Amino acid sequence: MEKLTTSEISTELRIPISASPLPPLIEEVIRYPLLEPFVYVVIARDVTTGGYMYLVDELRLNEEEIGIYNTLMDTLQFELKVPRSEVDPKAYFETSAKAIIDKYRISMGRMKNVAWSKILYYVERDMVGFGPLDPLMRDPAIEDISVNGVGKPVYVFHSKFESMPTNIVFEREQDLNDLIVRLVHISGKHISTAFPLVDATLPGRHRLMATYMKEVTPSGSTLTIRKFRSDPVTIVDMLNYGTLNSEIAAYLWFMMENRLSAIVVGATAAGKTTLLNALVSMIRPGSKIVTIEEVQELNLAVENWVPMISRPSYGLSTEKIGEVSLFDLVKASLRMRPDVLVVGEVRGEEAYVLFQAISTGHGGLCTIHAEDVRSALKRLTSKPMDVAPSYIPFLDLAVVVRRVVLPGGDKLRFGRRIISVDEIIDVDNQVKVFEWNAAKDVFESHLEESVKLKKIAEFKGVTVKDLLQEIERRKVVLNWLRQMNIRHYTDLQKVFVDYYYKPVETYQRAIERVTKT
């Protein structure tokens, strides 16, 4: 193969976009592989500013490999047949594309300075993966990816190190536009200068928000990906993170099992949906659960579950042809006879229908954007939600979660904490049963003031003391799960079912193992 010059490559060949080389003057904090031996992650600290950086260390192609990469990309686009049925793109690439690649590899003969596995990595990344963002999508610690325009570093939100710039930069508008068009296309949507705003779901249920060119974002095209966790954060994970303690977890478990209604309150990225998912997983076994969301984010290990998602209009005019709103879904769900109705986030008139359902005996859960309980109730009773104040007493609990600065240490540490758990009596009357002490990073309990426990005790014909002992037993079970690192959502669901049907045996098993440990 004739050797190509750098100028020929830059003008005639597509050079795959990859992360910039690691910069000097950095202090490496941690390094871990994403796909050995092709791509690694380095979390580093800039020695001049002290800030953290997320650096992708990706093997680069040499000149000969770039030439082969271009040949293979053109060949595959010409020879690959479009599958007639819905298939997994990566599985299809494994079987169909690699057969074509092997044929051309044999025809080219043995070549020095060419690593075929490296070329295949880039071909697969750019054909059926997420292009230059593929390493970020492979990292389970990444929660959000933000591309804010051309010439700017891509930012990520890391579960441990929070928001950080990366060494991935789109230098050309065309490269970013092409990636956005491709991602929107594989999501089954359309984006153009006529319709420059798209909210879509990528394969793998990742949420994509994209803008196109300079129609609505003057700095050019942008995209944000909120990654979906196939292995969701569970109540045991939250105990490990310190988001709540075992007493709060046991109390919420008991309340969910008794089908009390609740709202999860917090700002953007506070962890509302994560907490909601953990609460729903503790609902009484066998209950019929209907979840309603704009984009499916909840992930449950229960069989009697109907997930529903809204659908935007098909129309290209102001007429909303074929639109199915959250309001429509909440109304329709009431005819499904759900035991518990879960709305991912209430913002409009669907809140009114949800409270109608709660008032007629259905269990109800939802999230709402607000800073605290009072502002959440104010939003609920104001337009456009317009829930009548007389319906608020049908709501039982409000759990406020917030991203906070943690006390102690020389450096700023961030975390998520349940700030308070309030029992709702009325619009102007709430009883705080738990609250977070910011100075000490501890949770303070006021369970003796609980009104809901008294109400449940009367209904069950037992004393409040009996219920407090039940919460203590559940604390033991949760501490056992934490000590044994039983945290996967399917494993936890089995334990919750066991405890519901065989509470004494499950408690004894937990207390024996905790004692041994």
pLDDT of 2 higher than 60: no
Phi/psi-derived region of residue 404, left when phi > 0, alpha when psi is between -120 and 50, beta in every other case:
beta
Average pLDDT value for residue range 105-117: 78
Q: Is the pLDDT of residue 81 over 80?
A: no
Distance between CA atoms of 167 and 162, rounded to whole angstroms?
16
Q: Distance from first CA to last CA of the chain, Å, rounded?
A: 65
According to the model, what pLDDT value does residue 11 have? Answer: 45
Whether pLDDT at 100 is above 90: no
Task: Return mean pLDDT, the chain.
Answer: 91
At 7, the pLDDT band (50, 70, 90 cuts) reads very low
Task: Compute the distance between CA of residue 29 and CA of residue 357 in angstroms, rounded to an integer.
Answer: 51
Query: Would the pLDDT of 8 be above 60?
Result: no
- Over the stretch 203-234, which tens digit does the pLDDT of each residue have? 888 999 999 999 999 999 999 999 998 889 99
The percent of residues in the chain predicted with pLDDT above 90, rounded, is 73
pLDDT beyond 80 at 5 = no
Backbone φ/ψ region at 430: left (φ over 0), alpha (ψ -120 to 50), beta:
beta
Name the pLDDT band for 319 (thresholds 50, 70, 90).
low
pLDDT tens, position by position, 217-276: 999 999 999 999 888 999 999 999 999 999 999 999 999 999 999 999 999 889 999 999
The pTM assigned to this predicted structure is 0.86
Average pLDDT over residues 366-390: 95
pLDDT of residue 106: 77
State how far the Cα of 344 lies from the Cα of 368, in Å rounded to an integer: 9
pLDDT of res. 160: 87
Cis amide bond preceding 83, omega within 30: no
Give how far Cα 87 sits from Cα of 76, 84, 131, 303, Å: 17, 9, 20, 25
- Residue 355: pLDDT band by 50, 70, 90 thresholds? very high
Quick check: 3 pLDDT over 50?
A: no
Residue 333 has φ and ψ, to the nearest 5°, of: -65, -25
CB atoms within 10 A of CB 142: 21
Report whether pLDDT(1) > 60.
no
Give start and end residues of each alpha helix (H) in 208-258.
Answer: 235-241, 246-257
pLDDT of 107? 75
Q: Would the pLDDT of 141 be above 50? A: yes
pLDDT digits (tens, 9 = 90+) for 434-452: 999 999 999 999 999 999 9
CB 203 within 8 A of CB 227: no
**Of 476, 441, 419, 86, nearest to 275 (Cα)?**
419
Partner residues linked to 208 by β-bridges: 200, 225
Which tokens in the block code for residue 158? 């890391």
Predicted pLDDT at 109: 67
Q: pLDDT-derived band of residue 88, with 50, 70 and 90 as boundaries?
A: confident
Going from the C-alpha of 100 to that of each of 75, 95, 103, 106, the distances in angstroms are 8, 9, 5, 10
* 480-516: pLDDT as tens digits: 999 999 999 999 999 999 999 999 999 999 998 877 7
State the chain's maximal CA–CA distance in angstroms.
Answer: 88
Catalogue all structural domains in the chain, each as residue range(s) with its CATH number: 6-226 (3.30.450.380), 235-449 (3.40.50.300)
Mean pLDDT along residues 390-395:
96
Radius of gyration from C-alpha coordinates of the chain: 26
pLDDT of 174 > 50? The answer is yes
